[in-house]
Amino acid sequence: MRDVLASRSTAAALVVLTGTGAFCAIKLWLTPGAALSGYAPLLGLALFQVVVLMCVQRGATTSLLERVLVADMAAVCAAIAWAGVVPGRATGSDFFLMGLAMLGAALVPWRPRSQATLAVVAAIAILANAYGANAAMTGTVDFRTFVPAAVLLGASVYTSYTLQAAELQSARADLLRRSAEAETREQSMMLERNVLERTAEFQAANDELEAFSYSVSHDLRAPLRAMDALSQALLEDYGASLDIDARDYLQRIRGETGRLGDLIDDLLRLSRVTRSIMTREVVDLSAVASIEAARLRSSCPQRDVQFVIAPGMHASCDGALVRVLLENLLGNAFKFTRKTARARIEFGFEQHDSGRVYVVRDNGVGFDMAHVSKVFEAFERLHSADDFEGTGIGLTTADRIVRRHGGTITAHAQPGEGATLRFTLGPAGEEIS
């Protein structure tokens, strides 16, 4: 019962009902010759109100509430019939109100949603209930005597009905809110699941790639080595019985196996560059370039190459990747200046408004700008293998590394005048001079 009383609407409706009951009881007591049996229908009506309220309170379904309200209207009709129609005292207004009560009953299942329809149904309920109650109490259907009862009963019904509606509405809003919340929760859970799934897929794809490059490095090398070594064994052990052509063919086989080996190495490096985890740190680009320059010079000591490396270039970038980048760019410059009399390879930077641009410039063989679009594409080569060896993957790797840093790389060249590669290392890469 505390639950029922706790509800604001139920408490208000009970107060009104009690008031109505008291008023009707006083009126009955003051009316000479009134029958005590008049209390019974009154109590019946009051009970209906309580039942309606309790149904709402216990979270009754809308359809149950509708049935109770229809029963209420039926009771009103029965009261009018008992007081007016059966004793033969029925007037036009009796029939009008009975009709109205039936209309109200018919309107209930229509489920009033707007304030206007709610008001119409409430008005009908007030009139019908009040008249029915008055008829039940007094045993007469005097149109004038029911006005005070009508006001109180009407207030009661109106209060309970509108409050019920408000409660229903708030319950509906609550339900909507909860379902919206649930939907949001479900959506975020789905999102999370999606992210996890994608991450797992990505991880699986990466693992597969890792396994693939493992088998490439392991399985493709073994037959190559055997071909090369057996060709060499043939030359060593049976070279005397082979003529010049046969020995040349064997040398060609060995040369091609070596090239294929380089290709595998370069492809593996490219795939590693694309997949490795990137960590930025402050890298001394000048030092990295100097080490690479020294290595290149010692690889071909008879060559006269001048390296000009600007001192103190520091950048925030991935050390391992940028080392590969500079190896590729300086290695290219070294390779393509092979036929230049006084080879000069520069590594420096230009300060632009948009940031720092690093420059690798050589005075080597260069290339025709008509083919510039091919420079960064894998396996594309602008020189014949006879002129300059290579796999065509070096600049593709350089491009990947620069792009992973959020930077760009461009090439400018002229045949016979050398080539200039400009690259940036992304927003975080332009640091510290």
Partner 1 sequence: MNDPIVLLVEDNPNDELLTIRALRKENIANNIVVARDGQEALDYLFGNGAYAGRDLSVLPQVMLLDLKLPKVSGLEVLARVRADERLKALPVVILTSSAMDRDIVDGYRLGANSYVQKSVSAEDFRQAVQRLGLFWLLVNKVPSTF
Binding flag, residue 432, partner 1 (CB under 8 A): no
* Residue from the set 5, 230, 282, 428 that interacts with partner 1 by CB under 8 A: 230
- x/- map, 93-132, partner 1, by CB under 8 A: ----------------------------------------
Residues 239-258 touching partner 1, rule: CB under 8 A, are: 254, 257-258
Distances (CA, A) of 251 to 233, 262, 275: 12, 17, 36
Quote the radius of gyration of the chain (alpha carbons, Å). 48
Instruction: Say what angle helices 115-138 and 39-57 make with each other, to 10 degrees.
Output: 150
According to CB under 8 A, which one of 10, 231, 337, 396 is a site residue for partner 1? 231
The amino acid at residue 144 is R
Q: Of residues 224, 242, 291, 359, which one binds partner 1 by CB under 8 A?
A: 224
Cα 425 from Cα 408, distance rounded (Å): 7
Nearest-approach distance from CB 215 to partner 1, in angstroms: 9
The bridge status of strand 305-309 relative to strand 409-414 is unpaired
**The one segment of 32-40, 95-103, 227-235, 284-292 that binds partner 1 by CB under 8 A:** 227-235
- N-term to C-term CA, the chain: 81
Q: What is the 3-state secondary structure (H, E, C) of 273-323?
A: HHHCCCCCEEEEHHHHHHHHHHHHHHHCCCCCEEEEECCCCEEEECHHHHH
Between 77 and 267, name the residue whose CB sits nearer to partner 1.
Answer: 267
Question: 319-336 and 244-275 helices cross at what angle (nearest 10)?
Answer: 150
Give yes or no for residue 164 binding partner 1 (CB under 8 A): no
359 sits near partner 1 (criterion: CB under 8 A):
no
Least distance from C-beta 211 to partner 1, angstroms?
Answer: 10
Return the structure tokens found at 35: 């029958």
- With contacts defined by CB under 8 A, how many residues of the chain interact with partner 1? 24
- By beta-carbon proximity to partner 1, the closer residue of 162 and 271 is 271
For residues 343 and 362, is the Cβ–Cβ distance under 8 A? yes
Site string for partner 1, 257-276 (x = CB under 8 A): xx-xx--x---x--------
Q: What is the DSSP string of 375-416?
A: TTSTT--SS-TTTS---S-HHHHHHHHHHHTT--EEEEEETT
Question: Smaller CB distance to partner 1: residue 258 or 406?
Answer: 258
Among 43, 226, 282, 432, binds partner 1 (CB under 8 A): 226
Q: Which amino acid is at 375?
A: V
Window of 179-187, 221-229, 375-383, 387-395 that interacts with partner 1 by CB under 8 A: 221-229
- Least distance in angstroms from the C-beta of 230 to partner 1: 7
> In Å, how far are 300, 386, 394 from 338, measured between CA atoms?
10, 13, 17
In the bound state with partner 1, the residue whose beta carbon lies nearer, of 189 and 211, is 211
Which residue, 31 or 232, is less far from partner 1 as judged by CB? 232
Among 7, 145, 232, 408, binds partner 1 (CB under 8 A): 232
**Distances in whole angstroms, Cα of residue 241 to Cα of each of 226, 231, 233:** 22, 14, 13
Residues 318-357 that bind partner 1 (CB under 8 A): none
CA 50 to chain centre: 50
Listed ranges 7-15, 212-220, 287-295, 389-397: which one lies at the site for partner 1 (CB under 8 A): 212-220
233 is an interface residue for partner 1 by CB under 8 A:
yes
Give the one residue of 67, 89, 221, 356 binding partner 1; rule: CB under 8 A: 221
Q: Given CA atoms 43, 48, 52, 58 in this order, what sign does their dihedral have?
A: positive
Q: Are 337 and 364 a contacting pair, CB within 8 Å?
A: yes
Under rule CB under 8 A, residue 217 binds partner 1: yes
The stretch among 13-21, 147-155, 172-180, 209-217 that binds partner 1 (CB under 8 A) is: 209-217
Q: Which is nearer to partner 1, 215 or 354 (CB)?
A: 215
Q: Which is nearer to partner 1, 198 or 225 (CB)?
A: 225
What is the phi/psi pair of residue 155, to 5°?
A: -55, -40
- Residue 219 CB, nearest approach to partner 1 (Å): 8
Task: Please state the closest distance from residue 267 (CB atom) to partner 1, in A.
Answer: 13
Least spacing, CB of residue 222 vs partner 1, in Å:
5
Distances in Å between the alpha carbon of 57 and those of 8, 138, 167?
11, 32, 9
> What is the contact surface with partner 1 in residues (CB under 8 A)?
213-214, 217-219, 221-226, 228-233, 254, 257-258, 260-261, 264, 268
